[in-house]
Amino acid sequence: MTREIPPGLQQALDSHPCYNEKAHRNFARMHLPVAPRCNIQCNYCNRRYDCSNESRPGVTSELLSPQEALEKVKTVKERIPELSVVAVAGPGDPLANEETFTAMRMVKEAFPELTLCLSTNGLMLPDSLDRIKGLGIGFVTVTINAVDPDVSKKIYEFVSFDGKNHRGREAAEILLQRQLEGIKGCVDRDILVKANMVLIPEINGEHIPEAVERLKELGVYIINILPLIPVEGTAFAEQRAPTAMERKELQDRCSGGGVKMMRHCKQCRADAIGLLEKDRSAEFDKAACGSSCGPGEAKQVSGPPPCHSVAVASDDGVNVDGGLGNSALFHLFEIKDGEVLPSGSTEVNQYMDVPLVGEAHRRRLELVADQLSEHAAVVVSEIGHLGEAMMKARGVKVIVHRGTVDDGLRTTLEELGADA
């Protein structure tokens, strides 16, 4: 039997796209990127790179003040009537930024009908419980990747607490103790807790079932096992991302026992807006993405990208007929001023003779992803989670299209926001 829903939260739960899978096609969420600072360093996190084509936690195209965030909620609410949840999820840790509380208070006052949500690493959760409850925040996500300090010490470079940077096992112990205390405090206050767990196969893959058991005992409502996205410039850049099968096996194994298992997470950006299936954050940016995405502050450039290069998986040049892992040939096109011009092709058949599973397959996907990384988008007829994560990590938009190359390019044109 799943956890009893705290009084007053059922209605909000019915329209929460993350906590309730049935709601995710009909209700939208909006993240307010008001929290730039973080108090720990996860080995998989890099918040310095920003591109509006890239979707992963920690990425945002802009930082907003609480006042700007409130104005943006007003605009989004007018244009996306299905907006039901407003959250703070970064780009740093929400609870390490006073702006989180200011923004939440302002949104609550202006739009009491919206559900408030936040996502944290948990370090400051025990100290924030009463403020969270006081603001009427009924949904809190804690990213907790292990319940054994000997496992988590491999995941965090440092934890900044009580005016000091802690490292190694000591850092892991502090973080874990605070996370567990914070989760219990939420449950005691009738706040629904989601636990995010980043699956890093070689580090916590075998440990996750044990961790989930502990979280079930604590009263966590829903578990979300996310695949590691290896990101350039991080300590885990070379770590292996899990396969879709590995993740599913863990999800299946850890399901039941009074906890829900989330299977529809999109690993949202810190400024995500819209239905989980379709991020619309770029529509509401103060500035659009230029082609020179790179390290630095939130982007201040504007205007459409001058040219989009697109790679389409197709053997015959007529139909989109393959995925990242099983195509030998990609046809290339340039999209400029709404016009589509063929610009040749690129072969990836030199990587075809490796098994379709295992390390060799992953390596092949990486080689293909690297080869296609200079394009704005790839069009494929299918794609696995790992391939999609690799392309997104390289800032390449993935368009899944079953049909003709022409129709696929038309869809791409719309998705990239170029003039048709």
Q: Which span sits near ligand SF4 by CB under 6 A: 87-95, 98-106, 249-257, 288-296?
A: 87-95
123 or 289: CB nearest ligand SF4:
123
The nearest distance, CB 407 to ligand CLF, in angstroms, is 28
119 or 412: CB nearest ligand SF4:
119
204 or 267: CB nearest ligand CLF:
267
Task: Quote the DSSP letter at residue 249.
Answer: H
Name which of ligand SF4, ligand CLF, none residue 276 binds, using a CB cut-off of 5 to 8 Å depending on partner kind.
Answer: ligand CLF
Crossing angle of the two packed helices 208-218 and 244-254, in degrees rounded to 10: 40
Helices and strands counted in the chain (H then E):
12, 18
> How many chain residues interact with ligand CLF (CB under 6 A)?
18
The Cα-based distances of 51 to 18, 37, 133, 377 in angstroms read: 24, 19, 34, 13
38 or 83: CB nearest ligand SF4:
38
Please report whether residue 386 would count as binding ligand SF4 according to CB under 6 A: no
Name which of ligand CLF, ligand SF4, none residue 5 binds, using a CB cut-off of 5 to 8 Å depending on partner kind.
Answer: none
Ramachandran bin of 191, using left for φ above 0, alpha for ψ from -120 to 50, beta for the remaining angles: beta
The nearest distance, CB 57 to ligand CLF, in angstroms, is 6
**Which residues touch 160 (CB under 8 Å, ≥6 apart)?**
39, 40, 166
Please report whether residue 397 would count as binding ligand CLF according to CB under 6 A: no
Distance CA 76, CA 82 (A): 10
Work out the number of other CB atoms within 10 angstroms of the CB of residue 219.
17
Q: Which of 362, 380, 373 is nearest to 324 (CA)?
A: 380
Distance CA 199, CA 205 (A): 6
What burial letters (b/e) apply to 338-356, b meaning 16+ CB within 10 Å? eebeeeeeeebeebeebee
> What character string, x for contact with ligand CLF (CB under 6 A) and - otherwise, covers 267-296?
xx-------x--------------------
Residue 261 sits at φ, ψ, to 5 deg, of: -115, 120
CA angle 231/233/234 to nearest 5° reads 65
Q: Among 41, 141, 281, 327, which residue interacts with ligand CLF (rule: CB under 6 A)?
A: 141
Name which of ligand SF4, ligand CLF, none residue 193 binds, using a CB cut-off of 5 to 8 Å depending on partner kind.
Answer: none
Please report whether residue 73 would count as binding ligand SF4 according to CB under 6 A: no
92 or 322: CB nearest ligand SF4:
92
What burial letters (b/e) apply to 119-138, b meaning 16+ CB within 10 Å? bbbbbbbbebbeebbebebb
Q: Which span sits near ligand SF4 by CB under 6 A: 36-44, 127-135, 290-298, 379-387?
A: 36-44
Q: Which span sits near ligand CLF by CB under 6 A: 60-68, 175-183, 261-269, 381-389?
A: 261-269
**Which residues touch 210 (CB under 8 Å, ≥6 apart)?**
147, 148
Please report whether residue 40 would count as binding ligand SF4 according to CB under 6 A: yes
Give the interface with ligand CLF as residue ranges (CB under 6 A): 18, 29, 31, 85, 87, 89, 117-119, 139, 141, 194, 224, 265-268, 276
Give the interface with ligand SF4 as residue ranges (CB under 6 A): 38, 40-42, 45, 47, 58, 90, 92-93, 121
